[in-house]
Structure 1
């Protein structure tokens, strides 16, 4: 109720993060919300990549990922990609609330209510360079929306790996292998990990594996946007 009052109160109205139009809810106007690229109707129930008839894709059948399910809100395409880039590299932290709204409202519902929300951590040197962790900001707003506790100190990135953007799938997997540590046991818990974009899923896979080694019963990955390739 408080959120609705704020969203509809003139002094708190914010311009649309996509087109700058006024009179928005959550900083996104209705026209832009309708125009955002949704996921294909038929996706793999495990990794959220395109899959005929919505069946488990061949890759997940051959090599099941450590995460139990990937929840993606939208397709990574314009204009969402530009807003994510501004948020991530332009230090536009005020975008976290609007982006977390998209994640919480448009991603498929969780199978189980998470016991814990965890952002994908940055290496310490990368955090110092950037000044903030965009996944932490997104996870903090997302955890508030789904009423789940956030723990940003549970996981650490123990290797400062090169950026994933220019690597192929196999290189991405090798790049993040053994990159994360988890500080304490999570026996029987359902953990939600949050990141901005999923491309190959290698980072989510590596972090999920570390969480399960510490006893997590279920790990679900939540991303704002999913990259889709022409071939699966």
Structure 2
């Protein structure tokens, strides 16, 4: 089946050459020039949530209300193109091939931030949302990232118990309330898989960190040593404030 899909893709590429989702150059789904133009977050950043902050210190929100994660890192601001355009095309326009270059970006970020993981887990989609979209963008990112880094990938440890309403206009506390009890450890899975292990959760975007926190809770309950989040982008914020 994969061979058939590859041949069909190659035939379509001849008839309809692949264009960069941002600049429309012909040749690749996200061209080298656009990839190189992505402006990564620069230090200093918060030692916990990774957003720009005074060197070696947590930001004010993390000091008073730290994320229930071992740490969180992102590549760049969600408000910046071509990253925003790429994420939007990947997530909402069915451009699944972007899982390759964007997943490789996450692998670069893993090395750039000197993270350490024994296991990579993508944020799961609820089955209804998965049926609607046809794919889990976090899983595609995690697959490429795991393959590049040669770190085991687990896609069947967590499941999403309930679908949640949109979180776009919710404050951080409301987002956490919206996601309460949304993720569970898969029944029948052995806790030995995560016990005393370092886990990396992959997603495309994190606003407040609430989704990653909700995923981390059952992993910590199963005995994980650490649970870090790694995403492509986070919204930029004013100094000392976490996105609401």
Matched, 1:146 2:154: no
RMSD (Å), alpha carbons = 2.2
User: How many angstroms apart in 2 are the aligned matches of 1:41 and 1:78?
Assistant: 20
User: How many angstroms apart in 1 are the aligned matches of 2:177 and 2:142?
Assistant: 26
CA contact (8 A) 2:21 2:85 kept: no
Match in the other structure for 2:46: 44
1:44 deviates by 0.6
User: How many angstroms apart in 1 are the aligned matches of 2:148 and 2:20?
Assistant: 20
Deviations 1:158-188, CA, capped at 9 Å, x for gaps: 1111122221222111111221101231211
Superposed counterparts of 1:192-203, under 5 Å: 192-203=200-211
Aligned equivalent of 1:103, options 88, 102, 106: 106
1:28 deviates by 3.0
The structure-2 alpha-carbon separation of the partners of 1:145 and 1:14, relative to structure 1 and needing over 3 Å to count, comes to: farther
The structure-2 alpha-carbon separation of the partners of 1:70 and 1:56, relative to structure 1 and needing over 3 Å to count, comes to: same
1:56 deviates by 1.2
User: How many angstroms apart in 1 are the aligned matches of 2:56 and 2:22?
Assistant: 31
1:202 deviates by 0.6
The structure-2 alpha-carbon separation of the partners of 1:23 and 1:91, relative to structure 1 and needing over 3 Å to count, comes to: closer
Superposed counterparts of 1:1-232, under 5 Å: 16-21=20-25, 27-29=30-32, 31-76=33-78, 77-107=80-110, 108-112=112-116, 114-183=117-186, 184=189, 185=191, 186-231=194-239, 232=241
User: How many angstroms apart in 2 are the aligned matches of 1:80 and 1:134?
Assistant: 15
1:80 deviates by 1.2
User: How many angstroms apart in 1 are the aligned matches of 2:54 and 2:114?
Assistant: 22
How many equivalent residue pairs?
218
1:14 deviates by 6.7
Q: Which runs of 5+ in 1 are unaligned?
A: 1-10
CA contact (8 A) 1:39 1:74 kept: yes
Deviations 1:124-153, CA, capped at 9 Å, x for gaps: 111111111110111111110111111111
1:122 deviates by 0.8
1:40 deviates by 3.8
Q: Which runs of 5+ in 2 are unaligned?
A: 1-12
